[in-house]
Amino acid sequence: MTADIATEVFEEHRPVLLGVAYRMLGRVADAEDVVQDAWLRWSGADRADVRDRRAYLVRVTTRLALDRLRQIKARNEAYVGPWLPEPYLTEFGDTAPDTVERAVLADSVSLAVLVVLESLSPLERAVFVLREAFGYPYADIAAMLDRAEPAVRQLAGRARRHVEERRPRYDVDPAQRRDLTERFLAAAGDGDLDGLMALLAPDVRLVGDSGGKSKAPLRVLESADHVGRFLVGAAGKGIPGMSYRFLELNAGPAVLVLSGGEPDAVLQVDVVDGRVQTVYVVRNPDKLRSLATA
C-alpha cells in the first residue's frame, strides 16, 4: 500500500474514528489529538497484512482513547463547578446511511447521554460506545480491547443497565426543540419571567459549565422559579456586542452566543412533554474554541 493510498484510507475512516474518540472522551480537542496519534500509528505500521482497515483503525483509536480517558478522569477531579462535554458540531451524513442509524448515533452523542457516560469506567465506556453507538459484535470488541468475549459481554450489560437507569427521558424532535428554544430565548431576552415560566417544566434543571474561567452557576440550579429568575437576571446584565446563531451541536439545535464576534456561550435545551426540562450552558472558553469558525 503506497503512502497516498494509506492517506486516502485513513481520511475515508476519519469521521468514524473522530466519532469514536469524541464519545469516549467528550472533548473535541482530545478526540482530534487521539485521531492524529492514530494516523501516526497507521502511517508507520506494516499494513500489508491488514484485512479489515476500518476495524484496525477503530482498534488503534479506541486503545489510544482509553489511555487518554484515564488521564482525563484524574484531571477532572479538580474541575471547578459542573462538567459538561465540549460542544460538538454534528454532521453525520456519510457515516449514517439511514434514519435508524442516524438516530442511534445522535442519541449517543447528546449532552445528556455523554454526561451519563462520564460515570462509567473507561472500559465500560469503550464497550458501550463500540457496541451501542457503532454496533460492533462482541467478538470484534473483545479483539479490539484484548479481552475475553464473556468479559466484554459482562461489561456491556453493566454499562447498558447503568446508562438506561440514568438516561434522561426527553423528546428528540428537532423542530420542536428549535421552536421552544427560540421562544425560550425571546422570553429570557425580553425579561419576560411569566413567559419563561410557561416554557419551563416545574422541575427544570440548569447545568452551567464554566470551569471557573467565566461566569456561570457553580452548582446545578433546580426548579422553574430558580432557573427562570437566574436567566432573566443574566439576560438583563447583557453581553457586550452580543449576537447569536443556531447550530446543530451534539445532534440537536443549539444556540451559539457571540460577544464581539467571538464565542461566549453555548445554550441547548432538552424538552419533555413540550416544556424545557434541562438547560445546558457551556461558558468554559476552552470548550468553545472549536466553534470560533462555526
130 and 48 within one domain: yes
Does residue 109 belong to any structural domain of this protein? Answer: no
- For residue 239, what pLDDT is reported? 80
- For residue 97, what pLDDT is reported? 39
Per the structure, how many domains does the chain have? 2
- For residue 93, what pLDDT is reported? 40
- Write the CA distances from 90 to 28, 102, 151, integer angstroms: 11, 11, 32
Does residue 254 belong to any structural domain of this protein? Answer: yes
Does residue 188 belong to any structural domain of this protein? Answer: yes
Query: Confidence class of residue 176 from pLDDT cuts 50, 70 and 90?
Result: confident
In which domain, by residue range, is 239 found?
174-291
179 and 161 within one domain: no
15 and 161 within one domain: yes
Does residue 94 belong to any structural domain of this protein? Answer: no
- For residue 39, what pLDDT is reported? 95
**What does the pLDDT look like over 189-233, one tens digit per residue?**
889 999 999 999 999 999 999 999 998 999 999 999 999 999 999
Q: Which of 135, 86, 132, 79 is nearest to 107 (CA)?
A: 132
State the burial class of residue 58 (Cβ atoms within 10 Å of its Cβ: 0-12, 13-18, 19+).
Answer: buried
228 and 200 within one domain: yes
Q: Stretch 107-115: mean pLDDT, rounded?
A: 86
For residue 101, pLDDT over 60 is answered with no
For residue 79, pLDDT over 50 is answered with yes
Query: In CATH, what number is assigned to the domain containing residue 269?
Result: 3.10.450.50
253 and 282 within one domain: yes
Does residue 153 belong to any structural domain of this protein? Answer: yes
pTM, rounded to two decimals: 0.86
179 and 159 within one domain: no
- For residue 171, what pLDDT is reported? 63
- For residue 167, what pLDDT is reported? 81
**What does the pLDDT look like over 115-171, one tens digit per residue?**
999 999 999 999 999 999 899 999 999 999 999 999 999 999 999 999 998 887 776
Does residue 85 belong to any structural domain of this protein? Answer: no
- For residue 31, what pLDDT is reported? 94
Q: Give strand pairing partners of 281.
A: 208, 267
**If you ran DSSP here, which 8-state letter would residue 85 be given?**
P
At residue 33, φ and ψ (nearest 5 deg) are -65, -40
What are the grid coordinates assigned to 216, written together? 456561570
Question: 130, 146, 166 — which closes off a domain?
Answer: 166
235 and 157 within one domain: no
197 and 125 within one domain: no
**CA 267/CA 281 separation, integer angstroms:** 5
Query: Confidence class of residue 92 from pLDDT cuts 50, 70 and 90?
Result: very low
Does residue 108 belong to any structural domain of this protein? Answer: no
Does residue 90 belong to any structural domain of this protein? Answer: no
